[in-house]
Chains A and B, each alone.
Chain A
């Protein structure tokens, strides 16, 4: 019996294709009817009455959907930009330093939103923000934006940190040897190499913010329904394929973003 060297290749394991296909099926199959019925002519989510773009038009013309969508995009943009800036600083602070006490603790703290159940964060924020709202009488967007920023940070942080760890330190050391100040080395060497990671992180944060329901539902003030909370509110009455249409658009946006992130993070760090 010949044992090949470098023996363990997961792709050659028996049944690999089958398991992979089953996983993809389980992941994407439930989405198929949702997408299909978004093109339904009739006002039913389970009874096919012909092909039409009617519900996309209705959603597009619905003022509530419009304002909720704009609100979602604004919150997601602001929150993901702030989260990415902060995440970049944390990533530099946890990789481009000599190891120090508490480094792991910081790592754990930053990733806290990944571990704490969302409903717990939501209830905690509800109580905290309620106190601030009562004390200041301010009911604006700062609550939503700061909450979204907080839970977006780990999602932005992980790709940036991964990129930093994969980058060759030699280039930065060489820059320092050539009398570049730390700031110059960062601006001319580290940052350009890091950019794909930063973009990937920002997009991931953007998608996470765009999709959030639980925390938003608890934190939102009067008149601050985002697209997902608007959709949740529709559930008490008969749902029309308008919801399917909006979901399909959200899904498409998310898929495009994630694909972009994939290509960005595939760019090899030199």
Chain B
């Protein structure tokens, strides 16, 4: 039977044999529901290049498929936390994004991120932050601190949610207690654990999907992502987003060219294309996160271009940081704390 199956496979392989990838094609491997169809339509119309989009659901899946090789993709969109892995494993080609004509549109603060020094490998896609969402009709005090979830004021006790993301939660607590991200200081980590365990009974939940709960006023505060905070405010006008001054974390997804890409020129054309303000605006219009392109606000929907959740107010910009993936021994201690917190 195995033989029968193999010969069948061989037969099918031969009969459907390789349709050579003709020029004028591009294979984009991106997060699901993350690419604006209007963006692709515009790109196809302007360049005549046909784009095929394939979805993935996690950095790990994407990395696994690209590592294995033979995937047939030209471009992928990893997160900043994983991008250095792609570079160090030699999975990427260097398209010199910093020398592309539209690179001039990339905002100053995005030209030299720690995770892609000199910005040679990656073209900006979208970025966001992890901060504090508060219903200000319940609590009117200062919301720009992790204290909202770690030492909840009396009004908020029992109405707090925390995103169930280990790194974000523990990093927030470390920063709140005056430590540095990825610290291995055991005395401090012990305090972090005690703080979290002490705070947990004052929380209502550790869950995703907060928008509807803020809309229904079931929650009054949460540690969460800015895009959701923005959408929650559209449904409940009392919702505000705080940028913790202890140092909130930023994330970014960026477009990279794969080493074994077949359509290199087309891929570079696409990378340059998305750095034009009108196209970056389309990216944000669909997935509702900020991009890094100066002048793209003009092309975003009105409610977005002025949203303090999307465009970080000037006084808070300095507090935001990209935190790297911590070394394995630190990660292990984080996991231990996390396990204890889940009990």
* A contact residues vs B (CB 8 Å cutoff): 44-47, 63-64, 82, 86, 89-90, 93, 106, 109-110, 123, 126-127, 129-134, 136-142, 145-146, 149-150, 217-218, 220-225, 229-230, 232-239
Contacts and interface: CB of A to CB of B under 8 A. Distances in A.
Contacts of A131: 69-70
B112 interface: no
A114 B84 CA distance: 38
B1 interface: yes
A265 to B, nearest CB: 23
Interface in B179-232: 209, 211-213, 215-216, 228, 231
Nearest to B213: A46
A230 B32 CA distance: 7
Given A127-B68, A138-B17, A223-B27, A146 B54 contact: no
Contacts of B73: 222
Interface string B1-27: 110110011001100111110000001
Nearest to A243: B33
Contact of B32 (A93, A109, A234): A234
Contacts of B52: 222-223
Contacts of A142: 9, 12-13, 16
B34 A136 contact: no
A233 B32 contact: yes
Nearest to A123: B64
Question: Which of B52, B55, B61, B228 is the most central at the interface, judged by chain A CB atoms within 10 Å of its CB?
Answer: B55
B98 to A, nearest CB: 28
A220 B54 contact: yes
Given A130-B69, A138-B16, A236-B57, 10 more contacts: A90-B1, A127-B68, A134-B70, A136-B18, A146-B5, A221-B71, A222-B52, A223-B27, A232-B57, A233-B32
A144 to B, nearest CB: 11
A45 B214 CA distance: 14
A238 to B, nearest CB: 7
Contact of B71 (A106, A138, A222): A222
Nearest to A87: B1
Given A110-B1, A223-B52, A130 B71 contact: yes
A47 B216 contact: yes
A221 B72 contact: yes
A217 to B, nearest CB: 6
A150 B4 CA distance: 12
Q: Name B's interface SS.
A: mixed
B12 A146 contact: yes
Contacts of A149: 5
A80 B306 CA distance: 53
A230 B55 contact: yes
B16 A218 contact: no
A126 B212 contact: no
Interface of B: 1-2, 4-5, 8-9, 12-13, 16-20, 27, 29, 31-34, 37, 52-57, 61, 64-65, 68-73, 209, 211-213, 215-216, 228, 231, 287
A134 B12 contact: no
Given A86-B5, A126-B68, A130-B71, A138 B33 contact: no
B4 A222 contact: no
Contacts, number: 124
Contacts of A234: 32-33
Given A133-B71, A142-B13, A82 B57 contact: no
Contacts of A139: 18, 70, 72
B71 A140 contact: no
Contacts of A145: 12
Contact of A132 (B2, B32, B70, B72): B70
Question: Which of A63, A64, A82, A137 is the most central at the interface, judged by chain B CB atoms within 10 Å of its CB?
Answer: A137
Nearest to A142: B12
Contacts of B71: 130, 133, 221-222
A130 B4 contact: no
B289 to A, nearest CB: 10
Contact of B1 (A63, A89, A233): A89
The 5 closest A-B pairs by CB, nearest first: A233-B32, A133-B70, A233-B55, A130-B68, A223-B52
Given A133-B72, A233-B55, A238-B231, A126 B32 contact: no
A228 to B, nearest CB: 11
A230 B34 CA distance: 12
Question: Which of B9, B29, B34 is the most central at the interface, judged by chain A CB atoms within 10 Å of its CB?
Answer: B9
A130 B70 contact: yes
A47 B1 contact: no
A55 to B, nearest CB: 15
A219 B148 CA distance: 45
Given A86-B1, A126-B65, A140 B16 contact: yes
Question: Which of B2, B27, B32 is the most central at the interface, judged by chain A CB atoms within 10 Å of its CB?
Answer: B32
Contacts of B27: 222-223
A90 B28 CA distance: 41
Contacts of B29: 222
A153 to B, nearest CB: 8
A237 B20 CA distance: 34
A200 B276 CA distance: 56
24 contacts: A44-B212, A46-B209, A82-B8, A86-B4, A126-B68, A130-B68, A130-B70, A131-B70, A136-B18, A138-B16, A140-B19, A142-B9, A142-B16, A145-B12, A217-B57, A218-B65, A222-B27, A222-B29, A222-B72, A224-B54, A225-B54, A233-B33, A233-B57, A238-B211
